[in-house]
Structure 1
């Protein structure tokens, strides 16, 4: 049975864009490489290098930085920062944007990420993941400006996430549908496993952190109470 790899899929989408230069495909490949490295580190937790616990640092949101947060941030920054495809990288773990120095041959894209969301879950073997977004540089000249860094969400040219759990799944869109790829650890390749993902028009679940119930306003509490009511006609709860 022939299976489509993530690399093949990216190339196919590149061919569908007559103006493509290959730079975006190169960037996506570097994201994939970083994801594999982090996946290996996550799956080795507890039996190899000590990645549990805290670094003793505080991030820009006032949160304690875990060792795996820092490892993921460094991994993505190093691999993508030296790829020649981006001019700046922003991260939840960085107080300021990292502007690619001229000697590293900056490219035309900006890479924005949460390198490892939910890293506190690693201690209890629950899914964690990387969230990323890609923009194109807007301003003229070599300098990276606020015009580049503070673009609207609608200006994204690609976005995605990588989930590290019982399997590692890479999901992304570049405006031509949303597609998911599962890492085959025996081959070290991501294979297309969830083509053309869509959100159902109506679902049967909701997700919210009810630990914050005490600080919700009444309208939020009323909505959640409504969702919990037993009403088969509307599919609740």
Structure 2
């Protein structure tokens, strides 16, 4: 009850939401929608969730205990230290091995595909970049984990060649961004895109962005213009058209480039626009890995209503990697923005 003269004004009541959808609850409810579900996929996702929570914890502590920087550097006494990119990989490997549901694991940090022979009946394969953007860690810039899940064919021999698949074969994909808070974005094949935020007090990922949909267009572009010297003519023409619009009334696009793929992709997913890392004369194949960077991101963007293509303007999800660490150029973002790239390339006969 408020009193006269403004004395003793009522204290704002905090509205407490008691019906919280955690990632664990979300996965359990998803499982119950599929009569044929055995629970294996759900258990695998729980193991993934543990990896993300662990990495988020270590990243928060990193600057305190000198974990940032890259593997191979040593501390003041000359001892080699386990750096975050190595720790992230070790966490992933242990979680997937002990989940009992993962047969194959491809990691950016491992030259070869890891085969878990202790789980011969496991039906899933996981592909991941455990800490994408680790070179930015020392500057406190957001880094992230990108992941994809494949279901192995019946009679799988557990060989890495079985994973040379297009992204259209992914059963689920997503990424976690370790920023001011840990954000997890996940999508299933043909499903919606859902965003979760880590609540450190509860130690749980909470559903905060249900059914994410990208704006159809937005005047923002995200690309490393330092590489423009090496770009193909059509790529230069496209980006120049954004910066120097022909119409008198046209405003130039805003540039936003962080340099951590996950952070740039997450912003593009939320606000719209385009993220690009084109193949160029210096990297004719492109820089980003098809299997565990491009394909999982492309699935997220398509399921959110966007588009993703490679530098040959092929739909990213149809591209088959030649080997597990094969690379590609990529353009992904709002539907209309990616369409503009495709149109410029068509004009050049691509």
Change (3 A) 1:41 1:116: same
Q: Which residue of 1 aligns with 2:233?
A: 218
Pairwise mapping of residues 6-17 of structure 1 onto structure 2 (< 5 A)?
A: 6-17=23-34
Give the CA deviation at 1:233.
5.5
Change (3 A) 1:40 1:106: farther
How many Å separate the matches in 2 of 1:232 and 1:116?
A: 44
Contact 2:69–2:134 at 8 Å: present in 1 too? no
1:100 to 116, 120, 132: 116
Q: Which residue of 1 aligns with 2:22?
A: 5
Q: Which residue of 1 aligns with 2:124?
A: 109
The answer as to 2:51 corresponding to 1:51 is no
Give the CA deviation at 1:166.
0.4
How many Å separate the matches in 1 of 2:166 and 2:160?
A: 12
Residues 121-179 of structure 1: CA distance to partner in whole angstroms, max 9, x if unpaired? 111111100000000111515x2135521111101000010000101011101132000
Structure 2 residues not aligned, in runs of 5+? 1-16, 74-81, 254-350
Contact 1:99–1:144 at 8 Å: present in 2 too? yes
Q: Which residue of 1 aligns with 2:9?
A: none
Give the CA deviation at 1:53.
2.5
How many Å separate the matches in 2 of 1:18 and 1:209?
A: 46
How many Å separate the matches in 1 of 2:93 and 2:249?
A: 50
Contact 2:70–2:135 at 8 Å: present in 1 too? no
Pairwise mapping of residues 162-177 of structure 1 onto structure 2 (< 5 A)?
A: 162-175=176-189, 176-177=191-192
How many Å separate the matches in 2 of 1:192 and 1:127?
A: 20
Q: What TM-score, normalized by structure 1, do the two folds share?
A: 0.90
Greater relative CO, 1 or 2 (CA 8 Å, sep 6+): 2
Q: Which residue of 1 aligns with 2:204?
A: 189
Q: What TM-score, normalized by structure 2, do the two folds share?
A: 0.62
Aligned residues: 226
Give the CA deviation at 1:54.
2.8
Contact 1:110–1:136 at 8 Å: present in 2 too? yes
Give the CA deviation at 1:106.
5.0
SS state at 1:69 partner:
helix
Structure 1 or 2, whichever has the larger Rg, is 2
Structure 1 residues not aligned, in runs of 5+? 58-65
SS state at 1:31 partner:
helix
Q: Which residue of 2 aligns with 1:202?
A: 217
